[in-house]
A and B are shown apart, each in its own frame.
Chain A
Amino acid sequence: MTTSTDLTIVPTERAPESGHRKVADFQPSLLLGEHSMCSGCGEPVVLRILLETLQELGIVQRSIGVVGHGCYGGFVTIMDVDVLQCLHGRAPSCATGIKRMRPDTAVFTIQGDGDMVSEGLQEVLHTAARGENVTAILLNNGVFGDTGGQQTAATVLGQRTKTSVEGRDPETHGYPIPIADIIARLDGVGFVARAAVGTPGGVLQAKRMIRAAFESQLAGEGFSLVEVLTMCPTGWFISAPQGPGYMAESLEQAYPLGELRPRPGAGAVAGAGGKE
């Protein structure tokens, strides 16, 4: 990164009148209003790339979302998609019922690590093993954010939370569960990948993975899971600008990024032109 020494302020109140083309919108048109996440939260980034993916795949009018309980729960008020807000941990089971009755729809879940890895561990494992053609999106920040920042089954060793104040210690608090790695090994699974949205490259990687997951679902390849590590400055007791750095040093060390289970017959998503 270069450092500019010219601190002239360029006007940015309105679009340039001529000579330019727009290459990125503020937000997808599927967003109906403002979210209320904290400064520096990674979850709205995932919401944006998820909705962009539905639009780019042309499946908006056959998508059904199942949203669990967490800070992201409020997304059900701003997503212009048919949604079911369900019980904590149970989204994969609800998604199963929805997909079995509406097999031509694209069914996805949005769950935090508390929702999926703590409360809903059973549900996600069985749904994956059964090979249900649904896509689960895991927002993993290693804390129960909505309730104020307690430890989850995904909290990493050394991470401070309100119930592991000195940092997660295996003797007292046990070990984290790398859910995506476990699910990647099950038969019945079509695609599993993990990304982090602290950097521009990470965001692009996450979006490609989300797209591959939906394509896997639409091809009937089985259960797909994209785990996205998201910053939670509030839950991590740090300032917002420190989020990506903290995440790189903690969660990304415990949860390596990349494709954990490529689509059947496909090469790696990163750098590929994509299948269709």
Chain B
Amino acid sequence: MASGTLVIDVERCKGCELCVAACPPGVLTMSVEVNAMGYPYPRLHPGCTGCTACQLVCPDYVFEVYRADRDTTRRPAGAAAPTAPVEPPGGAG
């Protein structure tokens, strides 16, 4: 599951592949096709976290990075989101 995504301006890419090496979840690979300049460009696979590592290292300003809006409360998978603050055991002190 992905918590981030990208917009990739493939026509600006010069095929340096620094984004591929920089990506922590490893969800970028280079295309086989080439852009108008003749360079392969990155493609995104599932698992982006929106960490911006690719955008930071890219010399050609190819990436726009998005993070999904999501509830940040940690809870077991399948449990409902809480609707009221949870009382500690033993009542409020």
Instruction: Name A's B-contacting residues (CB within 8 A).
Output: 1-4, 6-10, 12-16, 19-27, 31, 34, 37-45, 48, 197-200, 203-204, 233, 240-241, 243-244
B24 touches A19 (CB 8 A): no
Mark B36-56 against chain A: 1 for CB-CB distance below 8 A, else 0: 000100011111101111011
**Residue of chain B at shortest CB distance from A45:** B59
Q: How far, in whole Å, are A207 and B5 apart by their CA atoms in the complex?
A: 24
Residue of B5, B25, B61 touching A2 (CB-CB under 8 A):
B25
Neighbouring A residues of B25 by C-beta, 8 Å: 1-2, 4
Q: Does residue B6 face the partner (Cβ distance < 8 Å to A)?
A: yes
A48 touches B17 (CB 8 A): no
Most chain B CB atoms below 10 A, which of A12, A14, A23: A12
Instruction: Name B's A-contacting residues (CB within 8 A).
Output: 2, 4-9, 12, 14-18, 20-27, 29, 39, 43-48, 50-53, 55-69
A14 touches B7 (CB 8 A): yes
Residue of A3, A12, A40, A42 touching B26 (CB-CB under 8 A):
A3
B5 touches A10 (CB 8 A): yes
A9 touches B16 (CB 8 A): no
A41 touches B64 (CB 8 A): no
Q: How far, in whole Å, are A20 and B48 apart by their CA atoms in the complex?
A: 13
Residue of A16, A48, A198 touching B5 (CB-CB under 8 A):
A16
A240 touches B14 (CB 8 A): yes
